[in-house]
Structure 1
Amino acid sequence: MTVKLLLLDEMDRVLLIRSTDPTSGAQCWYPVGGGVETGESLQQAARREAHEETGLPSLPEGSPVWTRDHIYEYDGRTVEVHEDWLLHRVHHFDPEPARLSAFETRTIAGFRWWTAHDLSQTTDTVFPPELGRLLSELLKDGLPGAPIDITEPRPA
C-alpha cells in the first residue's frame, strides 16, 4: 500500500517531484508519497514521507480524497501499487529533502509547485495522467464524502 500526498499551498498549487528513470532516462512528475510501513497509519506514513522527501518538519492531518490501483514500469521493473491519496493544506515552502534513499537520490531531479491549469496544459509526463483535471474538479467540488477511485481504465 502506498500513500500519495496532494500538498496544496495557499495558492492551490500542488507540489510534484521530477524523476528520471535510471534505466530509460524518461522523465516524469509525480506527487510526494511512498510505501506505508508495517504498523504505520496513512497519516503517519504521510508525515514520514513528506519529511523525508521534502524536509517538511510537520504536516497537518490529511483528508482522504482518492484511491488508485496502478501498474507502471520504472527502472526496468513492473510495479503494481494501491494508492491512497490525502489532501494536505500547507504553507508554501522550498523543498529540501531530509532523508532520501539511495534510489531516490539517483532518481529525484527536482521539485515544482503546479497549478491545476498548468498541469492540464503541460506536455510533460505527469502521474496520474489526468492530475490537472482531477485537481480542478477537487478544488471546484470540495472534499468528497468518501475517496473517489481514480484508477485509469486498462487498455484493451
Structure 2
Amino acid sequence: MARLAVKLLLLDEDDRILLIHARDPKTRTDCWYPVGGGVDPGETLQSAAAREAYEETGLRDLPPGTHVWTRDHTYKFNGQTVDVHEEWLLHRVGHFTPTPAELSPYESTTIRGFAWWTADDLHTTTETIYPPELGQLITNASTRT
C-alpha cells in the first residue's frame, strides 16, 4: 500500500522554490527535493504541510496552499523501495533562511542543507532533482496561482 505524503512547493516572492539537499546513506549520491513528508492518521493535507514545513525548515504559520497536482511514485533511498501517493501543494511564502526545528534522527543524517532555486536553475542543472521535471511543473503551477 502506498504511503500518503504531502509535498510542498514553497515559492518565495521571486518564484524561487526551497529544496532540501540530501545524501543517500547507502549509495552516497546527492539529490535535491521539495519539503514534505508523510501525512499522519487524522491529519489534513494542510495540517501535515504546516507540520512538515516547521519540522524541516523551522517555518511557522505556513499560509494555506493551493493543490496543484497528484503523483503516484516509487523511489529508492537508503536501500529501501517506497511507494508513495503524493499530494502537491503550492505555498507562497516570504524568503527565509531554513533552520530545521524537529528533524528525525534519520533526517538529521541525510539532510545536508537547503537552497532556493529558480525554475531556470532547475531546467539547466546537472544536479539530481526529484521529481526530475520539477522546473516545468513549477512553471506550470505558478502561472495558475
TM-score by length of 1: 0.89
Q: 2:88: which partner in 1?
A: 85
Distance 1:46 1:128 in 2: 18
Q: 1:137: which partner in 2?
A: 140
Cα-to-partner distance string for 1:83-122 (whole Å, 9 max, x where unaligned): 0000000000000000000000000000000000000000
> Which amino acid letter does the alignment assign opposite residue 85 of structure 2?
H
Instruction: Compute the displacement of 1:134 (Å).
Output: 1.3
Distance 2:65 2:139 in 1: 18
Distance 2:105 2:13 in 1: 32
> Which amino acid letter does the alignment assign opposite residue 20 of structure 1?
R
Matched residues, number? 142
- Counterpart check, 1:37 vs 2:40: yes
Distance 2:121 2:102 in 1: 29
Q: What RMSD in Å do the two structures reach over aligned CA positions?
A: 0.7
> Which amino acid letter does the alignment assign opposite residue 52 of structure 2?
E
Fraction of identical pairs, as percent: 61
Q: 2:16: which partner in 1?
A: 13
Match of 2:66 among 63, 67, 74: 63
SS of the counterpart of 2:81?
strand
SS of the counterpart of 1:118?
helix
Instruction: Compute the displacement of 1:137 (Å).
Output: 2.0
Distance 1:53 1:12 in 2: 20
Instruction: Compute the displacement of 1:75 (Å).
Output: 0.3
Match of 2:79 among 66, 71, 76: 76
Q: 1:51: which partner in 2?
A: 54
Match of 1:25 among 8, 25, 28: 28
Match of 1:97 among 96, 100, 103: 100
Off by >6 Å, runs of 4+ in structure 1: none
Q: Which residues in structure 2 correspond to 1:100-139 (within 5 Å)?
A: 100-139=103-142
Distance 1:138 1:98 in 2: 28
Instruction: Compute the displacement of 1:139 (Å).
Output: 2.5
Distance 2:142 2:106 in 1: 33
